Each structure stands twice: as structure tokens, then as C-alpha cells.
Structure 1
Amino acid sequence: MDLIEEIKKRSIHVDNGIEDYLPLTKPLELYKAARYLPDAGGKRLRPSIVILVAEAVGSSLEMVLPAAVAVELVHNFTLVHDDIMDKDDIRRGMPAVHVKWGEAGAILAGDTLYSKAFEILTRAKGDPERILKCIDILSKTCRDICEGQWMDVEFEDRTDVTQEEYLEMIEKKTGVLYAASAQIGAILGGASDEVADALFEYGRLIGIAFQIYDDVIDMITPEEVLGKVRGSDLMEGKKTLIAIHALNNGVELGIFGKGEATTEEINEAVRTLEESGSIEYARDLAVSYIEKGKELLNVMDDSESKDILSAIADYMIKRAY
């Protein structure tokens, strides 16, 4: 199976849906700003999960395409606002929205994506009660994402962040949107509550694993592949699972929170984290979440779409940066 090709087959429909459901209208610059990131591409993993789950439970693309587009717009809304808060000037290899349209323009573009997502979700086909349930799920997901982002900001000024707090934070920032994607696909696809709940958990687990492994990638990937300075999380003092595990075990990280370091100092810090087992600990935990998530797919009958969902789970901890 060519996973990327299978995702592309679904993402083409998502791209067309974005164009149809979020047209460039007046005021033109607002909608150009709102469309900027969605039009720039991205992996489209979350909307593909919506579609694949619907297929796997016996439904079709047509039933869930508005929901898939809605999920993708929510994802892009979070990216627009994250870049403002983090003062990141580059996204997907291009100037961030706030760089091109200013902070006020970017806030409005993000708010437009957020509001349009719910408007588009109401266009999903099927039982109105199921559509209403999905609106409720997506709204609670947006609340959780905001709570997770707030926790992440708070962690910057704390030295006592626990593993449990970190896992809760990444569940809310990253895991819940994957969870909602799978659950919404199941609900609109006509699945039972039992199946929908299991698929929510599948999405939650692989989403958490995705973020944990992202921290691993920051440590183990050569800079020419990573596209940024290796170990930047350490220099920024980010409370990642790797850092929390190391600090809790008395590992000395001289560059932690220092803002900058030489290549030699970074390499030495990464070696220390490898020797202490902190990187392996994070990698192993991510793998365990993926295996548990894949097991939950057994609530569905065997199908090509189910196999692709399993492959997406593996991709979360095998992808290149």
C-alpha cells in the first residue's frame, strides 16, 4: 500500500471542498487570508481520517465531505493563531498569515476559519441528530484545544511540570482533533456509539503519539533534514516528555532553556539524553500508544479503509520530519 497516495486520493476531494465551501468573496483580502494556509496544502491527515472511517463503517465520501472540510479548517485556524502566539514567521515554507496580513488580519482570518467550519459542518448529509452530535463534538474539541494551548503557555514559566500534565496538554492540543475526526466520521457514517467511542480513542491515542514522536524527531533528525536547529526544544526550555523524564532522573542538561548553543553542545546534550534512556522512553511510550490505537480498529470489519487507518497510525511514529 502506498499510504501517501491513498491519502492524496481523499485529500483531492477535501481540496475541492475547501474551494467550494470557502469561496473567495467580499471582503476579498479577508477570505484570501483565510484561504492562505488551507490552499498551501498540508498532509490532510485529519480530514482523511474522517473519510476513511466513514468508508470503513460502510458509508461514503459524500456523506462526510463537509465534516472533513470542517475538521481541516479547524486545524488551520489553530495554526494561524499558534503562529501569532509563538511569533513564528514561517509556516509550510511560506510567510505566516500574520506576516502577510498583520496580527489583526491573521486573528480575523483564524476566526473566519473557525466560524466557517461549523457552518460547513451543518451541510453534512444524514440524520440531523447525528449532525448535531458532531457539532457538539467539534465545539468541545475547540474548547479542549484552547485549554491545551493555555497549559502549554503556562508550562513556560514552571519548573515542576509532571509527565501527567504534559500528556494532558498534548492530548488537548493535538490528540483531541484526531479523536474528533475519527469519531465524527463514524457517527456520520452510521456507526453505533460503541464503534464511534472506540474510534475516538483510536484518534486520541495516535494523536498523542504523534506529538510525543515530534519531540523525538527534534532530537534525532539531522539538521539538513529537520529544516531547523536540532535540539531547539532543549534550548527553548520546552517541557517535552524527553526533558521531563531526564530532569526527573537527575540528568544535567546545560543547554536547557539557554536560548542558544553550539553544535558541539547540542550534540553532547542529545548524547546524554540517549545514554540516559530519555529519548528511548519517549519513543517507547509513543509506540505503545500506537499499538493500543491500532487494536481499537478491530471494532470494524476488515476493509481496505481500515488497513489505511492502521497504516496512518504507524506513520505517526515512522514519518520523516
Structure 2
Amino acid sequence: MSQNSASKDEILKEIKKRSEVINKAMEDFLDLGEPEELYKASYHLIKAGGKRLRPVLTLLSCEAIGRDWKPILPSAIAIELIHNFTLIHDDIMDKDEYRRGVPTVHRLFGEATAILAGDTLFAKAFEILSKCNVEAENVIRAVEVIADVCVKICEGQYMDMEFEKRDDVSVEDYLKMVEKKTGVLIACSCSIPAVLYGEEKYVKPLWDFGLNCGIGFQIHDDVLDLVGGEKIGKDWCSDLVEGKKTIVYLRAREMGVEIDIFGKGKASDDEKRRAVEKLKECGAIDFASEMAKEFVERGKKYLDVLPDSNAKNVLMLLADYLVTREY
């Protein structure tokens, strides 16, 4: 077995170990209420699985600062609920039909119920966060941090939508949007244990680690939308067809390469394959992949302040995994 595959196996094992903790805790926190259909819709994507990367990062970061994650386990659950709330609403806005290999919430339950399902998860997240068993003033600060993160996610999502109407979107604009839409929640996932335990010296380094890794993660996600095929569990090439100005598209446009299916709303598999081939040939996909790795390398440097530990090593491996995963 190569060193790379050994590292990948190791990180997947570490992720699985902690994601099982998250899944068990979510079962304890997420009871089916009335009306039953609303709660089925709310928990639909959660039950469909996922790697739980954000709450796993929370547990790992807590271990890496030498603290016990059990008293703050509710914060990891809250972050996963917020992530799922954003996915439900994103899918409505993007009119996506699949997520995690299953039909999206709005497709199964209708748009109005999907909006309410997302709102339910958003509110539940703060209810669960309040159950963290640490100093009350630190819980209040965590509420402020996560509420601000939610505002930034909305700003990023709006920017993403607005970009579809603009012809002057730059790579810098894209990076600012991605920082808000994706980066801040991963930054929050990493830094919230330090906030909850009042470990001030670790708050910003862990935030900056997560922010850079989150940007790299989203750039890689944009690449996977093109090359991941069925593995990604959602509509293949949906970004191109919907007219999303991802970094791959922006790079190709800079080079004068035109993509016929961009913004068409619909395309055959053959048309998608030809478009992806064009993006490969002009180097736009490689450009994006390299940039994703650069952001992760930058992020890992912020972990230098942490004491050496297994958790720190796993965080480094997980950072690399974010931009090398196949789905």
C-alpha cells in the first residue's frame, strides 16, 4: 500500500470514528415531533448520511487544544444542523434534484415544507447549542459567533446568486463569495471549542486554519462538480448548466475559452462531457485544483501554535483530504 493510500485510509478511519459519535448524539437530540411530516423533511438529508466533516473538525479541534469534547458536543451537532439548513435552502434556490444520492427535500416534500424544514433546523441548532456544559458567558459568545456566521453564509449565498446576472465577476470576487458561503462555517467548526472553553490564544489560529481549508474545500467541490460524476451524489455539471461562475469557469473565460452549455439550464451527458474536456484542455481544472491545495497549505501553517498531539496530526491529514477527496 502506498503512503498516500495509507494516509487516506487512516484519515477515513479517524473521520468514521468521530462521525459515529456525531450520529449517535444526533439520534439523542433529534426527536420526531409534530407535525410528523415537517420533522421528516427536516431530518431527510441528515438521515441520508454524509461524512459529518464539520462536526468532526469540531471534535478534533477540541482534542487538539487538550480539552474534553463531551461537554461541548452540542456545539458540533448545532454546526451540522446549520450546515444541513443551508443545504436545504441552497437546493431550493438552485433547483437541484439530488443531494447525497437521494432526492432533495423540496423535491420530496414540496418547496414550502422544505423552507420550513430548513428554518426548523436553524432554530434547533441554537436550542441545542445552549446545552453546552461550560461557562455561560462562553456559550453566549458561541451563540454570537455562530449567528454572525449564519449572516455571512446568507451574504455569500446572495453573492453567488447575484454573480449569475453579472459579466464582470473576477477571481477575487469569487474567493470573497466562497469565504462567506463555505469558509466561515468550517472556520467556526474549528474554532468554536476554543471559544466555548475560553482558550483565547487558539481562537484565531483555528479560525484561520478552518477559513483557508474551507475555501480550498469549496474550490475542490467546484472541480468535483465537473469530474466527480455519479460519485458526488448530486446533479453532475449542475454548476455549469446553471450558470454558476466558479473559479474553473472564470479561469477558462480569462483564457478566451467558451463553454456552450454554460447557463443553458439543461444539457445532455455528451454536451457535459465535451464541456469538461474543454476545461481540462485549457488547464482551468488543474488551475483550480492547485489553488485549492495552496489554500490548505496556507491553513495548515496556523496549526503551528498547537501542542503536538495525535489530534493535531489528524487535523493536518484531514485538511489534505478536503482537497483530494473524490466525492
TM-score range, shorter chain: over 0.9
8 Å CA contact retained: 1:37, 1:97: yes
| Aligned counterparts of 2:41 and 2:266: Cα–Cα separation in 1 | 33
Instruction: Quote how far apart the aligned CAs of 1:304 are.
Output: 1.0
Deviation digits for residues 54-104 of structure 1, max 9, x if unmatched?
111111121220000000000111111112112222222222222332222
Q: Structure 1 CA distance, aligned partners of 2:19 and 2:111?
A: 29
Cα–Cα, structure 1 residues 171 and 106, in superposed 2: closer, same or farther, change >3 Å?
A: same
Q: Which residue of 2 aligns with 1:14?
A: 22
1:35 counterpart = 2:43: yes
Partner of 1:104: 112
Pairing partner for 2:79 from 71, 81, 100: 71
Q: Does the CA contact (< 8 Å) of 1:59 and 1:190 recur in 2?
A: no
Q: Bigger CA drift: 42-51 or 230-239? A: 230-239
User: Is this contact kept in 2: 1:25–1:31, CA < 8 A?
Assistant: yes
What percentage of residue pairs aligned between the two structures are identical?
Answer: 50
Summarize the Cα distance change of 1:114–1:228 in structure 2 as closer, same or farther, 3 Å threshold.
closer
Match of 1:239 among 229, 239, 245: 245
Structure 2: stretches of 5+ with no match in the other structure: 1-6
Which position in structure 1 is the counterpart of 2:325? 319
Matches within 5 A, 1:275-314: 275-314=281-320
- Separation (CA, whole Å) in 1 of partners of 2:101 and 2:236: 18
Inter-partner Cα distance in structure 2 for 1:32 and 1:225: 25
Runs of 4+ with >6 A deviation: none
Secondary structure of the 1:120 match is helix
Tell me by how many angstroms 1:167 deviates: 0.8
Given that residues 205 and 305 in structure 2 are in contact (C-alpha distance below 8 angstroms), is that contact kept between their aligned partners in structure 1? yes
- Distance of aligned partners of 1:128 and 1:148 in 2 relative to their CA distance in 1, 3 Å threshold: same
Structure 1 residues 318 and 102: alpha-carbon distance in aligned structure 2, compared to 1, 3 A threshold: same
Partner of 2:4: none
Which amino acid counterpart does residue 255 of structure 2 have in structure 1? N
Q: In the aligned structure 2, how far is the partner of 1:23 from the partner of 1:258? A: 42
Partner-residue secondary structure (3-state), 1:238: coil
What is the TM-score when the length of structure 2 is the normalising length?
Answer: 0.90
**What is the Cα deviation at residue 134 of structure 1?**
0.8
How many angstroms apart in 2 are the aligned matches of 1:215 and 1:60? 35
Task: Quote the Cα distance in structure 1 between the aligned partners of 2:253 and 2:325.
Answer: 27
Q: Residues 224 and 89 of structure 1: is their aligned pair in 2 closer, same or farther, counting only changes over 3 Å?
A: closer
Q: CA deviation at 1:53?
A: 0.6
Separation (CA, whole Å) in 1 of partners of 2:86 and 2:269: 32
TM-score (norm 1): 0.92
Deviations 1:250-299 (A, max 9, x none): 22333333345565654444343334332222111111101011111111
- CA RMSD of the aligned region, Å? 2.0
Could you say which residue in structure 1 is the equivalent of 2:210? 203
Q: Deviations over 1:12-62 (max 9, x none)?
A: 222222222221123332222222222222110000111111111111121
**Offset of residue 111 of structure 1:** 0.8
Partner in structure 2 of residue 274 of structure 1? 280
Amino acid at match of 1:25: G
Which residues in structure 2 correspond to 1:213-232 (within 5 Å)? Answer: 213-221=220-228, 223=229, 225=231, 231-232=237-238
Query: Separation in 2 of the partners of 1:141 and 1:13?
Result: 24
Question: Shift of residue 197 of structure 1?
Answer: 0.4
8 A Cα contact 1:58 1:189, kept in partner: no
Change (3 A) 1:237 1:229: same
Q: Helix, strand or coil for the counterpart of 2:291? A: helix
Partners in 1 of 2:47 and 2:185 — Cα distance? 20
